[in-house]
A and B are shown apart, each in its own frame.
Chain A
Amino acid sequence: KYSVFVAFAPHFKALARVAYFKIVSKDESNAKRMLYELYRFMMWFFILLYNIQHLIRVIQVRHSTEQLVDTLFILLTTLNCLGKQVAFNARSGRIHKIIETIQESTFAPTKPYHLDLLKKNAVSMSQILSFYQCGCLTCAALWTIFPFINRTRGREVTFTGYLPFDTSVTSTFYLALAYMSVLITIQAFGHVTMDCTIVAFYAQAKVQIKMLRYNLEHFMDADEENIRIDTQITGTNYEQNTHKVNTNDIIIMTQKRLTNHVDHYEKIASFVKEVESIFSEAMIVQFFAMAWVICMTVYKIASLSILSVEFISMAMYLGCMLGQLFIYCYFGTELKVESEFICQSVYCGDWLSLSPSFRRKLLVFMTYCSKPLALRTAYIIPMCLDTYIAVLKSSYSLFTFLNRN
């Protein structure tokens, strides 16, 4: 029996590994749980320490723009990550509830086409996760290597966090470098995994809508086929319907199907709303952090020459930020576009064979489905590709404007 949760398994496994979020399973020994709680406490402690160190340094260097900008880059990113981490931990009950919703029977596949869709979705989600994880590990590795190279070249290296001891001595330098890079790697990894998890929720909603659309387009299809597939997937015994059908049976069957579809859509819509509300504050933090970082990066890049090492690292950082925004906007658009076609799927089903009174029921459903499931950040900014293009356009205009000056 195929579980819909398979698409999320790698994400939650990775999250558990860095102690960001763990799905509570009943059959775990007390000792293991205590150990894991200790691990989580230590992780929280170090991450908060890291952020406080950077905050102190920001206050320290507030008069020197260069160093301020350098520190703010890191601080804003880690604050962004912290926002999402707080959402995951403070609302873990609600997240557990939506995981349970995913595993309910309404979302389960009932036809071979559904199985196909779910498997493809699981594959693409794990591919996106691995891609982003590799990307972030590469960036973190480069971030570690740059100070090392600069140090061997004899240039002075200042850390972006406040450290109470002097880092010019070799041993303390390497200690500080190790500490900083390990923490930033963990935070980057956790950040990327959390992003991919949130996106996986939206992608799952989109796949469910695709399944609903397929059901609606085959609304009046023969029942025997469905029965056969049901027995295949669920493995239960099912009394075959007799081939003799009378009008009453048809009415009951179509009514049951309509009820199922209405219920399915209702569950999908509430699922999307719930995910949106769980992460709404984290998205607001992300939006502001991203806007600020993009402005600062563009300001910095405009004054650098092309092909210097700093330019490349700045450009890479900007690329990472834009890549992060891209998956949100892309899957937000996919969800919206897919939900706009539900009404069309009802139309493409065989409603002509139905009585006028049943058509009116379908009409109520069509009217409700004509409102698309559009995601929003902070209630005003839609999470779609138009927003992404607007962000790209504004940063390019800013860059051109600063370059000319």
Chain B
Amino acid sequence: MMTKVKAQGLVTDLMPNIKLMQAAGHFLFNYHSDNSGMSMLLRKVYSSVHAVLIVVNYVCMAINMAQYSDEVNELTANTITVLFFAHSVIKLLFFALNSKSFYRTLAIWNQSNSHPLFTESDARYHQLALTKMRRLLYCICGVTVLSVASWVTLTFFGESVRFIANKETNETMTEPAPRLPLKAWYPFNTMSGTMYIAAFALQIYWLLFSMAIANLLDVMFCSWLIFACEQLQHLKAIMKPLMELSASLDTYRPNTAELFRASSTEKSEKVPDPVDLDIRGIYSTQQDFGITLRGAGGKLQTFGQPTPNNPNGLTQKQEMLARSAIKYWVERHKHVVRLVASIGDTYGTALLFHMLISTITLTLLAYQATKIDGVNVYAFSTLGYLTYTLGQVFHFCIFGNRLIEESSSVMEAAYSCQWYDGSEEAKTFVQIVCQQCQKAMSISGAKFFTVSLDLFASVLGAVVTYFMVLIQLK
């Protein structure tokens, strides 16, 4: 299980993300350059220590919530905080239990097919994907650090009190509480002195690491989606030259040897075949291909000496080239389909838990928001929680939506090229691709919902409706 995997494919692209996740304490033990027993043990100890600290502090917060559950406002505020950080604990556990599935998804793109005509386009879109993934990572890291900084700053404003319900008079009193970012029960007195500073430092560390744990996993998921979308963009971009290339293929001669292939032993990791013959050895320049990729179709025809088997006058090599280009396109598309299926299997359940907890949190936050009475610490903290929670949901909804749009727009790309000039083979290829792309590729949260902007809109709508109803009832 702890095999040394050479960094390639998705792993190379996502290496900064992986390194950050390892630093934040996720149970990610692959993809290290040094795999000796000692360093592996050290890494496991590191992750376990982080896990223990995070869970212990979380339990302390839960104990505090149970302790002061008499007063409604205090209880609601504490519940929101506990639910807010439930994401981190769940994601940490989820990754630890499902790491094999994550490794499998990361390894899916280790070997991809290639074609000499399309390497330049492939590289360009790959670079685009890489830029977008890096930019997303920096953005989310910045947001995390900013959130922690503003949380800590907000701690120093306002009175640090907690609400207690006076049992005799049934009214709310305030009691002084330690001025810490999070309300938690500690076995030592944290009102002042060295213990106070220690608790404060622990909480800053805890805030940073738990937010990083949750956000980095989401960033990995969204990076996968960015990669899949850019691959689809690449496929759309090469559709036109592909159709021009195959416009002259008119006869079909079955390649008998290819028709029968023993089924591969492994079900999931079918290695896509490279191009049948080394075309690069046969053709050295663009002129040898006999086509201009930007011109109208049919340039492959050479009139004058039609070969007996080939009514359009294509040479053997030209026909093989056209057919191999279509094969490259279809194999690449199937590879993307496999990647998206694997992403859905890996991360679907985590998204389900996320949405469940976010729904409850947003309901409570809507209730809290009705009690905002001015520009004070309470308003800032409630709005901060609201924006952050909605932002997390928006984060994966927008990338899920982009995947759906990209995968269904492949059909438009197929239609917009000059398919009517194509050969029978090319036309049936376009037909089958259009039929397949009618069902958009989407990520579903364990079949309960589809990750798209509709989901975000329904969540936002529900929060606003609930808020309005509560305002009216007040």
Q: A residues bordering B, Cβ < 8 Å?
A: 218, 220-223, 225, 245, 247, 250, 333-334, 337, 340, 343-344, 347-348, 350-353, 355-356, 359-360, 362-363, 366-367, 370, 385-386, 389, 404
- Shortest CB–CB separation between residue B176 and chain A, in angstroms? 31
Q: Which of A222, A344, A366, A404 contacts B260 (CB 8 A)?
A: A222
Task: Say yes or no for B37: interface residue by CB 8 A criterion.
Answer: no
- Shortest CB–CB separation between residue B160 and chain A, in angstroms? 32
**Given A366-B436, A370-B438, A356–B334 Cβ distance below 8 Å?**
no
- Shortest CB–CB separation between residue B239 and chain A, in angstroms? 16
A250 to B256, CA, bound (A): 9
Across chains A and B, which 7 residue pairs bring their CB atoms closest together, nearest first?
A356-B424, A359-B428, A221-B263, A347-B436, A356-B428, A366-B435, A355-B252
Contact with A along B414-438 (1 / 0, CB 8 A): 0000000000110111011001101
- Shortest CB–CB separation between residue A319 and chain B, in angstroms? 17
CB atoms of B263 and A359 under 8 A apart: no
Q: Which residue of B lies closest to A341 (CB)?
A: B439
Other than the given A353-B258, A363-B431, A370-B435, 11 more pairs (CB < 8 A) read A220-B260, A220-B261, A250-B259, A343-B436, A343-B439, A344-B436, A347-B337, A347-B435, A347-B436, A351-B432, A360-B431
Query: Which residues of chain A have C-beta atoms less than 8 A from B431's C-beta?
Result: 359-360, 363
Query: Which residues of chain A have C-beta atoms less than 8 A from B259's C-beta?
Result: 220, 250, 353
CB atoms of B262 and A247 under 8 A apart: no
Q: List 10 A-B contacts (CB under 8 A).
A: A222-B260, A247-B254, A343-B435, A355-B254, A356-B427, A363-B431, A366-B432, A385-B449, A389-B448, A389-B449
- Shortest CB–CB separation between residue B451 and chain A, in angstroms? 14
CB atoms of A222 and B263 under 8 A apart: yes
- Shortest CB–CB separation between residue A382 and chain B, in angstroms? 13
- Shortest CB–CB separation between residue B108 and chain A, in angstroms? 14
CB atoms of A337 and B447 under 8 A apart: yes
A334 to B263, CA, bound (A): 28
**Given A348-B337, A352-B326, A353-B254, A359–B432 Cβ distance below 8 Å?**
yes
Task: Say yes or no for B255: interface residue by CB 8 A criterion.
Answer: yes
Query: Which residues of chain A have C-beta atoms less than 8 A from B473's C-beta?
Result: 404
Query: Which residues of chain B have C-beta atoms less than 8 A from A389's C-beta?
Result: 448-449
- Tell me the chain B residues, 206-260 only, with Cβ under 8 Å from chain A: 252, 254-256, 258-260
A363 to B330, CA, bound (A): 16
Q: Which residue of B lies closest to A348 (CB)?
A: B334
- Shortest CB–CB separation between residue B472 and chain A, in angstroms? 11
CB within 8 Å: A-B pair count? 82
Task: Say yes or no for B327: interface residue by CB 8 A criterion.
Answer: yes
Q: Which residue of A lies closest to B326 (CB)?
A: A352
A352 to B328, CA, bound (A): 11
Q: Which of A333, A359, A360 contacts B447 (CB 8 A)?
A: A333
- Shortest CB–CB separation between residue A376 and chain B, in angstroms? 18
- Shortest CB–CB separation between residue A302 and chain B, in angstroms? 15
- Tell me the chain B residues, 427-467 only, with Cβ under 8 Å from chain A: 427-429, 431-432, 435-436, 438-439, 444, 447-449
**Given A352-B330, A389-B448, A250–B254 Cβ distance below 8 Å?**
yes
Query: Which residues of chain A have C-beta atoms less than 8 A from B424's C-beta?
Result: 356
Q: Which residue of A lies closest to B253 (CB)?
A: A355
A343 to B431, CA, bound (A): 13
Query: Which residues of chain A have C-beta atoms less than 8 A from B428's C-beta?
Result: 356, 359-360, 363
Q: Which of A245, A337, A348, A363 contacts B435 (CB 8 A)?
A: A363
- Tell me the chain B residues, 332-366 only, with Cβ under 8 Å from chain A: 334, 337
CB atoms of A334 and B447 under 8 A apart: yes
CB atoms of B435 and A247 under 8 A apart: no
Q: Which of B252, B256, B436, B438 contacts A245 (CB 8 A)?
A: B256
A348 to B264, CA, bound (A): 14
Query: Which residues of chain B have C-beta atoms less than 8 A from A223's C-beta?
Result: 260
CB atoms of B334 and A347 under 8 A apart: yes
Query: Which residues of chain B have C-beta atoms less than 8 A from A250's C-beta?
Result: 254, 256, 259-260
**Given A247-B256, A353-B254, A404-B473, A367–B435 Cβ distance below 8 Å?**
yes
Q: Which of B262, B432, B448 contacts A362 (CB 8 A)?
A: B432
Query: Which residues of chain A have C-beta atoms less than 8 A from B439's C-beta?
Result: 340, 343-344, 370
Query: Which residues of chain B have C-beta atoms less than 8 A from A359's C-beta?
Result: 428-429, 431-432
A2 to B444, CA, bound (A): 34
CB atoms of A385 and B447 under 8 A apart: yes
Query: Which residues of chain A have C-beta atoms less than 8 A from B262's C-beta?
Result: 221-222, 225
**Given A222-B261, A366-B432, A385-B448, A356–B252 Cβ distance below 8 Å?**
yes
A251 to B431, CA, bound (A): 21
Most chain A beta carbons < 10 A, residue from B258, B327, B439: B439
Query: Which residues of chain A have C-beta atoms less than 8 A from B444's C-beta?
Result: 337
Query: Which residues of chain A have C-beta atoms less than 8 A from B263's C-beta?
Result: 218, 221-222, 225
Q: Which residue of A lies closest to B330 (CB)?
A: A352
A389 to B450, CA, bound (A): 13
- Shortest CB–CB separation between residue B52 and chain A, in angstroms? 34
Query: Which residues of chain B have C-beta atoms less than 8 A from A350's C-beta?
Result: 261
Contact with A along B272-313 (1 / 0, CB 8 A): 000000000000000000000000000000000000000000
Query: Which residues of chain A have C-beta atoms less than 8 A from B435's C-beta?
Result: 343, 347, 363, 366-367, 370
Most chain A beta carbons < 10 A, residue from B263, B429, B438: B263
A18 to B68, CA, bound (A): 52
